């Protein structure tokens, strides 16, 4: 029996074998690199889009966890209210798991200028509790954001146009009061905001909570408690705590609030895996072909090696090593290309030409690819695993040639 062939020798042989037909190897590496780069780039774009949709969705009323009165989400009426937090709930909210929290009211209302009227969503909030500017990423064009005890409203630029009115003018808000009677209030427009999506500008009107509570005659009651987690880590435990303290309310994480989004988020990993596998299977035919040809043209040589006493397992290992080097080169080049592409777009791609199309799925017309290490591991892992699986059969066949037959094959 021959002595064990050291691994470095095997790898050296595999490396040299690869470059005996360098063009063929480069074509294969090129195909691998392009496919990997394209997949990683596409995944980053999809993640970016989904990320943007989640953010847009939350921008009007952000919060890692949101508490609503039971039935409110199906029927957002003023009669479903929560008392201002106290007792156990207040204890958790003021505890270490929560960075900050706030109470809000969000009701449908009618806004009327002297010329026009429109249906809107009226959002009552406490500026001091919303971390000031971070509450609202909508940009203020003119005017100011209110303080807690102001009595003015902030409207979107598009709504201002529709209402044919201006900053400083008075508008009349009409909605239903907590007592069931019509509730009305006049208020000046003190600020005008700009949003990435036109429908946000047309639908949302902000007002300080105390003024809205007074208009709706709802006392200290609120409709939503928004909670911002103190850490970036898992918010499930916090959700569980809150459920214990307030079993009758709807307590949802941000990713549960929009069923469309949560369905998308849930299926994202599956979609990515399917994409990569399909792409790889198409690639695999070429890979197997390359390996088979590489072995085919070396049958005599393999026969000679076997005749000289090399173990079949060494032959198989050599082929596997050759595949490995091929895959690793493809992966390194592919990942670098994807990295470059993603980096060069880190400021976002301007898609304002199709803004309304993106608004339909609730995304802003600017797309920034989102890079996740998880996706890199997933993509490269699938390629390496499936690639080595593909090479098992050719390697096994090569290892089981009969030395005599192989030597005399022409």
- Of 331, 324, 297, the closest CA to residue 31 belongs to 331
Give yes or no for residue 230 binding another protein (CB under 8 A): no
- If one asks whether residue 288 binds another protein (CB under 8 A), the answer comes out as yes
Residue whose CB is less far from another protein, 212 or 279? 279
List, in sequence order, every residue forming a beta bridge with 124; answer none if it has no partner: 105, 207
Q: Is 27 in the site for another protein (CB under 8 A)?
A: yes
235-274: which residues touch another protein (CB under 8 A)? 259-260, 263-264, 266-267
φ, ψ dihedrals at 270, nearest 5°: -65, -45
User: Do 387 and 286 form a contact (C-beta atoms < 8 A)?
Assistant: no
User: Per CB under 8 A, does 359 bind another protein?
Assistant: yes
- Stretch near another protein under the rule CB under 8 A, chosen from 104-112, 231-239, 334-342, 371-379: 104-112
Token pair for 141: 């064009």
Structural contact between residues 387 and 285, judged by C-beta atoms closer than 8 angstroms: no
Q: Interface with another protein includes 10 (CB under 8 A)? A: no
Please name the residue ranges forming H helices in 297-311. Answer: 299-307
Please name every residue paired with 98 in a beta bridge, in sequence order, or none if there are none: 229
* Max CA separation in the chain (angstroms): 101
Is residue 54 within the footprint of another protein (CB under 8 A)?
Answer: no
Residue 182 in the binding site for another protein (CB under 8 A): yes
349 touches another protein (CB under 8 A):
no
**Using the rule CB under 8 A, which residue among 167, 310, 328, 355 binds another protein?**
355
CA distance 98 to 95: 6
Q: Which span sits near another protein by CB under 8 A: 37-45, 80-88, 126-134, 241-249?
A: 37-45
How far, CA to CA in Å, does 360 sit from each of 199, 200, 257, 346, 351?
10, 12, 18, 24, 14
Stretch that binds another protein, among 95-103, 221-229, 306-314, 355-363 (CB under 8 A): 355-363
How far is the C-alpha of 371 from the C-alpha of 343, rounded, in Å?
9
Provide the binding-site residues for another protein, judged by CB under 8 A. Answer: 21, 23-24, 27-28, 30-31, 34-35, 38-39, 42, 45-46, 75, 77, 79, 108-110, 112, 114-120, 161-162, 164, 174-176, 180, 182, 259-260, 263-264, 266-267, 275, 278-279, 281-283, 285-286, 288-290, 292-293, 296-297, 351, 353-361
């Amino acid at each position: 029996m021959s002595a064990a062939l050291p691994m470095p020798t095997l790898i050296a042989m595999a490396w040299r074998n690869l470059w005996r037909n360098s063009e063929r190897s480069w074509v294969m590496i090129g195909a691998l690199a392009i496919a990997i780069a394209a997949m990683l780039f596409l995944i980053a774009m999809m993640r970016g889009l989904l990320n943007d949709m989640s953010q847009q969705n939350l921008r009007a009323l952000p919060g890692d966890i949101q508490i609503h009165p039971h039935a409110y989400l199906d029927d957002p009426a003023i009669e479903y209210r929560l008392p201002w937090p106290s007792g156990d709930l207040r204890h958790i909210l003021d505890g270490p798991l929560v960075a900050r929290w706030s109470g809000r009211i969000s009701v449908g209302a009618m806004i009327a200028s002297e010329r026009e009227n429109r249906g809107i969503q009226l959002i009552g909030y406490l500026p001091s509790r919303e971390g000031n500017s971070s509450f609202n990423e909508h940009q203020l064009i003119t005017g100011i954001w209110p303080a807690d005890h102001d009595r003015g409203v902030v409207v979107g630029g598009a709504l201002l146009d529709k209402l044919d009115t201006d900053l400083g003018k008075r508008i009349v808000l009409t909605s239903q009061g907590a007592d069931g009677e019509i509730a009305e209030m006049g208020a000046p427009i003190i600020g005008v905001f700009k949003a990435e999506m036109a429908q946000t500008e047309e639908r949302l009107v902000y007002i300080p909570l105390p003024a809205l509570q007074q208009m709706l005659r709802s006392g200290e009651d609120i409709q939503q408690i928004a909670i911002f987690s103190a850490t970036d880590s898992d918010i499930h435990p916090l959700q569980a705590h809150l459920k214990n303290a307030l079993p009758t309310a709807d307590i949802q994480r941000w990713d549960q609030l929009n069923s469309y989004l949560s369905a998308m988020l849930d299926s994202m990993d599956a979609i990515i895996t399917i994409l990569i596998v399909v792409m790889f299977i198409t690639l695999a035919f070429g890979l197997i072909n390359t390996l088979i040809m590489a072995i085919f043209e070396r049958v005599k040589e393999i026969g000679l090696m076997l005749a000289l006493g090399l173990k079949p397992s060494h032959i198989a290992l050599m082929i596997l090593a050759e595949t490995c080097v091929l895959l690793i080169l493809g992966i390194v080049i592919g990942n670098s290309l994807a990295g470059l592409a993603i980096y060069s777009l880190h400021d976002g791609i301007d898609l304002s030409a199709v803004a309304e199309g993106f608004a339909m799925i609730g995304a802003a017309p600017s797309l920034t690819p989102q890079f996740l290490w998880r996706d890199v591991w997933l993509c490269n892992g699938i390629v390496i695993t499936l690639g080595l699986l593909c090479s098992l059969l050719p390697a096994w066949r090569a290892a089981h040639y009969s030395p005599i037959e192989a030597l005399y094959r022409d």
